[in-house]
């Protein structure tokens, strides 16, 4: 088993790459569990609390608002105080708010807690990708970060299993509460594991730049093109992802399926995420980041169009599976690609800012279906809109992005990779 030193100096403790991947990946999995549960909880809350589609859309949107705030704030903090400290802070915030959300008796309280959950999620994900990317050799960095992202599929799969097997065992207003409690508990285990990782080296002089200067540096001449490309890419990918996936169970119900049957179908669709990740992990070091991103995003666009126009069970299931396959494979490549576009002094800040712009798309995505539906748009037209949005992100990568395969990342000051 290969190992890498996470701390500089002769006393640095080597940590296996597998352990680094596992400890970071478990937190990633529990994050996905919460996001996945929200998709099922939305459908359950609509029945239990009689929520309108607009209220359901805002419940999903406030989560993304929190993610945008958390991505910027914790990304800046990670460049200043170290990646590992931010890992722990974001996971603790997420876990505490998740547990408390199960006790909510009003929509306002649930929305407030979803904001704090979003802050933890939004801060953790780009920082985790940066943390791992800086500690893996260039020739396998893309594959390892995509495999880190593959834990997201495990979290969604676990959410689907809880929704299908656990939630129906309880009354309508209790099933979603039990699901959220189950989603909060494992995060403390990941917190325990992360405490076992060695601490980051102290931030160097470059990392102590004022936060405004770090944000301004993202738009300086050397980084302007990459920042524009990444912001367009993140915005389009996140808008379409949250617009489509948070509404999958509800869209299935609108097509005439029972709630539990819709959970079963989404569970089957979710299984396709894992081969999507693994195929992207295999291709990313062979064909490059741009090839995987453009190819998988265009596959997502085609699958979104097919899902919106599907009229039969088999077509709906197949197109939904392909949507999961391509979209989550693209997500893996996105997290591998983003930190490779910036030097160490602004790497977490750049990744966090791009993720924050994406979360603004995540605010609009959950609102798109009820708003466009209110304007008379059909499901087919709405999913065609998402397909065109994803294709825009693919074009941004194709024409503005640079290939970063094999690029050696500089380490934060005072720290050896």
Is residue 11 assigned to a domain? no
What does the pLDDT read at residue 16?
66
Is residue 228 assigned to a domain? yes
Query: CB within 8 A of 241, min separation 6: which ones?
Result: 327, 331, 362, 365
**Range in 76-80, 275-279, 355-359 the model is least confident about:** 76-80
Is residue 200 assigned to a domain? no
What does the pLDDT read at residue 414?
45
Number of domains in the chain: 1
The pLDDT tens digits for 19-46 are 778 877 887 788 788 777 877 777 777 7
Give the span between the Cα atoms of 209 and 214, in whole angstroms. 6
Is residue 226 assigned to a domain? yes
CB-based contacts of 184-187 (< 8 A; 24+ apart in sequence) = 184/34, 184/95, 184/98, 184/99, 184/102, 185/99, 186/26, 186/29, 186/30, 186/33, 187/27, 187/30, 187/91, 187/94, 187/95, 187/98
**In this predicted model, which residue has the larger pLDDT, 329 or 15?**
329
Q: What torsion do the CA atoms of 281, 331, 327, 110 make, to the nearest 10 degrees?
A: 140
Are 404 and 337 in contact by the 8 Å Cβ rule? The answer is: yes
Are 414 and 208 in contact by the 8 Å Cβ rule? The answer is: no
Q: End-to-end CA distance of the chain: give it in Å, rounded.
A: 17
Is residue 233 assigned to a domain? yes
Give the span between the Cα atoms of 183 and 37, in whole angstroms. 8
What is the domain-level CATH number for residue 178? 1.20.1250.20
Is residue 8 assigned to a domain? no
Percentage of the residues of the chain whose pLDDT score is greater than 70: 82
The average confidence (pLDDT) of the chain is: 79
Whole-structure pTM value:
0.74
The pLDDT tens digits for 184-213 are 777 777 677 666 666 665 445 555 667 778
What does the pLDDT read at residue 232?
96
Give the span between the Cα atoms of 264 and 319, in whole angstroms. 15
Is residue 272 assigned to a domain? yes
Is residue 383 assigned to a domain? yes
The boundaries of the domain holding residue 386 are 17-195+211-400
Pairing between β-strand 3-5 and β-strand 14-16 as defined by DSSP bridges = antiparallel
């Amino acid at each position: 088993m290969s190992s890498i030193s996470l701390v500089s100096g002769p006393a640095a403790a080597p940590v296996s790459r597998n352990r680094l991947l596992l400890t970071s990946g478990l937190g990633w999995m529990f994050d996905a569990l919460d996001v996945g549960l929200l998709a099922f909880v939305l459908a359950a809350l609509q029945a239990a609390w009689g929520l309108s589609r607009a209220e359901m859309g805002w419940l999903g949107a406030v989560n993304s608002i929190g993610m945008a705030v958390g991505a910027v704030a914790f990304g800046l903090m990670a460049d200043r105080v170290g990646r590992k400290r931010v890992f722990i802070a974001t996971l603790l915030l997420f876990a505490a708010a998740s547990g408390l959300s199960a006790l909510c008796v009003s929509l306002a309280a649930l929305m407030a807690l979803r904001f704090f959950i979003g802050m933890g999620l939004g801060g953790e994900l780009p920082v985790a990708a940066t943390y791992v990317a800086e500690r893996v050799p260039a020739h396998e960095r893309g594959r390892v970060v995509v495999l880190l992202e593959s834990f997201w599929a495990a979290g969604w799969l676990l959410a689907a299993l809880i929704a299908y097997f656990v939630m129906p065992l309880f009354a309508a207003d209790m099933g979603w509460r039990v699901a959220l409690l189950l989603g909060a508990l494992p995060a403390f285990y990941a917190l325990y594991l992360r405490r076992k990782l060695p601490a980051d080296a102290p931030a160097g002089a470059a990392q102590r730049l004022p936060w405004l200067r770090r944000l301004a540096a993202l738009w300086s001449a050397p980084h302007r093109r990459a920042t524009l490309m990444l912001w367009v890419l993140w915005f389009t990918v996140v808008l379409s992802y949250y617009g489509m996936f948070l509404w999958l169970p509800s869209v299935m119900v609108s097509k005439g399926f029972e709630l539990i049957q819709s959970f079963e179908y989404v569970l089957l669709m979710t299984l396709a995420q894992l081969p999507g990740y693994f195929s992207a992990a295999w291709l990313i070091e062979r064909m490059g980041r741009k090839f995987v991103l453009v190819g998988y995003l265009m596959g997502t666009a085609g699958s979104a169009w097919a899902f919106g126009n599907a009229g039969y069970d088999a077509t709906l299931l197949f197109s939904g599976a392909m949507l999961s396959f391509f979209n989550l494979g693209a997500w893996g490549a996105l997290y591998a690609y983003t930190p490779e576009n910036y030097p160490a002094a602004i790497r977490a800040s750049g990744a966090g800012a791009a993720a924050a712009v994406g979360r603004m798309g995540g605010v609009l995505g959950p609102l798109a279906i009820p708003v466009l539906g209110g304007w008379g748009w059909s499901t087919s037209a709405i999913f065609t809109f998402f397909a065109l949005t994803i294709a825009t992100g693919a074009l941004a990568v194709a024409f503005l992005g640079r290939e970063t395969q094999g690029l050696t990342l500089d380490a934060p000051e005072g720290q050896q990779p």
